[in-house]
Amino acid sequence: MERGFIRPLPVICIVIMLVMSFVSCNGNKDIAEKSIKGIEAEEYKANFERLPLKLLSGEEIDAKWGDSDTGRGGSDSGRGGSDAGRGSGDTGRGPNSAGGPERPMSAIYVEDGKYLPKESETGVVSGGNIEDTSASGVKIIVKEGDAGGITVRGEGSQYTLSDSEIDISGSGKGGAGATCEDHGTLILKNVKITTNGSRKYTVSSTNSGTVKVYDSTLVSHDEPFEILPDSSITDNASRYLGIQGNSRTTMTISNSYSYFYNCSITADGWGALSTDKAVEFVYLEANDCRIKTVISGYGAYADFLCHDTFNNCDFDVASMAIVVAGCGDATFKDPKAKCGTFFALMHCVTGSYTEVGGLNVTGGEISSKSPAIVIRSHNADINLDSVKIVSESGILINTMINPDPNATTTEGKKVYGVHATLKDMDVEGDVIHEDPDRIMSLDFKSTALKGAIKNIYVSMDAASKWTATGDSEVIIVGSVEVAQIDAPEGVTINAVAGESGTYVLASGGSLILKES
């Protein structure tokens, strides 16, 4: 009897396995063929309104944040106030030139197309040849005081300095290595500029000046490396940007342009390529450059109304590669970035809820220890295209409330929000929206993402897939196939959509739809 009972067991097992396989196949088939009806695109778009840009006046900024010595919270320096068009006072032009205020002398001073030896600190210059439109082979060494290296100003000035060396030391305002202002153009070729001391720029472009730097080395040393006293601009930078130091390597302000080609740009702290006080428009561009901060600080800053472009640049930075403030924007093509904190920090402390920051990255490789992109109380357009990006924190994008007391508020109005697009990418990392004052969207275009998504509108084209690695909450926009969404067992995706339903996903996780 026992033998007769045992014999059919293999047959029974086979039958059970076939039934289970049939059920499983049918279940997967149901998922593969099922489309999710998301909310209508028009309903989604109605939540994102790009308001006409309305900036605060200089007087309004002055009243809100005080004078430039107190800083503007987490902004890169002081105010962008009513006198911002006159520059920072660090330009170093000749004394009483054109009836202007007395400024520190420069070793080489050029105005309106003329080299002016009598207004130049010629005693710190050795070697080379200096003419009205060019100089080469010179060496400038300033060991103390406020004297600068070279200053070029005036609409008729286009000056080229080549094969030269500038070394500036000292503390206090003034003393930039190379300055161009007031519609002048300064071209540097194969020049090494080193600065030592607080607030000493290697290169400065201000008041509609244009600087072009080729094949050069620019280094700023914070000596000593320290934070300036309380209420100073760097104290605010340390507190709200997480950076330290007292000198930026370059500065571009007040309707000016700076271009860098095949250069090495290094800062001990604070920042390497800085923009500030745009007035109306500032443009900074770096091509095939190596950008480094050693102890602390950002690689570049795009302040409000400032526009930064980086082509094939290598960032090795102690803090973040880029800070975008207000309606500034930064565009990267094929970057290589190794970041001690974020890749990008976007924030707004300029006082207008209508401002939208921009971040565009195409190609390249990025690594960061903290979340790759952080947005603090700001509206933003973020476009990542074919980028290899890895964050040790496991977070790709994170929005949050800005702790800066000067952070821009929405004033209770519906604002543009945060829009992020991932295109042609295979990427891992969470996308987390933690800013209750605005909404966020995430658009997949031929992209596979592995990571949790929280509190975000999500749209996907047919070539995209999302695998949730942690519990997620999303609003689905448009039509999405169930098979495009996956999660391992134990992970639940709660989604608002145009219908209700519950699905067990291919890897065992759950998708729960709730009709909007």
Taking only the tens place, the pLDDT of each residue in 62-93 is 666 554 333 344 556 533 332 332 233 333 33
Q: How confident is the model at residue 271 (pLDDT cuts 50, 70, 90)?
A: very high
Asked whether residue 58 falls in the same domain as residue 21, the answer is no
Asked whether residue 426 falls in the same domain as residue 493, the answer is yes
Angle subtended at Cα 189 by Cα 188 and Cα 192, rounded to the nearest 5 degrees? 80
Query: Residue 355 corresponds to which tokens in the numbers above?
Result: 């401002």
Greater pLDDT, 83 or 491:
491
Assigned domain for 411 exists: no
pLDDT tens, residue by residue, 135-185: 999 999 999 878 899 999 999 899 999 999 999 998 666 679 999 999 999
Asked whether residue 62 falls in the same domain as residue 199, the answer is yes
Angle subtended at Cα 478 by Cα 473 and Cα 480, rounded to the nearest 5 degrees? 75
Does the pLDDT of residue 2 top 50, yes or no? no
Last residue of a domain, one of 363, 397, 431: 397
Asked whether residue 348 falls in the same domain as residue 216, the answer is yes
Greater pLDDT, 30 or 275:
275
Assigned domain for 23 exists: yes
Does the pLDDT of residue 285 top 90, yes or no? yes
Query: Which residue segment(s) compose the domain that 10 sits in?
Result: 2-33
Q: How confident is the model at residue 222 (pLDDT cuts 50, 70, 90)?
A: confident
Asked whether residue 429 falls in the same domain as residue 504, the answer is yes
User: How far apart are alpha carbons 174 and 379 in whole angstroms?
Assistant: 36
Query: Residue 234 corresponds to which tokens in the numbers above?
Result: 């760097």
Domains: count for the chain:
3
Asked whether residue 350 falls in the same domain as residue 436, the answer is no
Torsion of Cα atoms, 105 then 109 then 112 then 113, to 10°: 180
Does the pLDDT of residue 18 top 50, yes or no? no
Asked whether residue 58 falls in the same domain as residue 8, the answer is no
Assigned domain for 381 exists: no
pLDDT tens, residue by residue, 99-121: 444 667 899 999 999 999 999 99
CB 379 within 8 A of CB 417: yes
Q: What is the DSSP string of 394-457?
A: SEEEEEE----TT----TT-----EEEEEES-EEE-EEEE--TTS-EEEEEES-EEES-EEEEE
**CA dihedral (389, 394, 399, 400) positive or negative:** negative
User: How far apart are alpha carbons 310 and 290 in whole angstroms?
Assistant: 11
- Position 48 scores a pLDDT of 72
Asked whether residue 99 falls in the same domain as residue 148, the answer is yes
Kindly report the pTM of this predicted structure: 0.88
Assigned domain for 7 exists: yes
DSSP state of 51: P
- Position 246 scores a pLDDT of 85
DSSP state of 207: S
Rounded to the nearest integer, the mean pLDDT of the chain is 85
User: How far apart are alpha carbons 77 and 320 in whole angstroms?
Assistant: 17
**Chain position carrying tokens 């592995």:** 450
The residue-averaged pLDDT of 416-437 equals 97
Q: How confident is the model at residue 463 (pLDDT cuts 50, 70, 90)?
A: very high
Torsion of Cα atoms, 32 then 38 then 40 then 43, to 10°: -160
Asked whether residue 348 falls in the same domain as residue 437, the answer is no
Asked whether residue 323 falls in the same domain as residue 453, the answer is no
Assigned domain for 159 exists: yes
Strands 510-515 and 501-504 come out as antiparallel
Assigned domain for 339 exists: yes
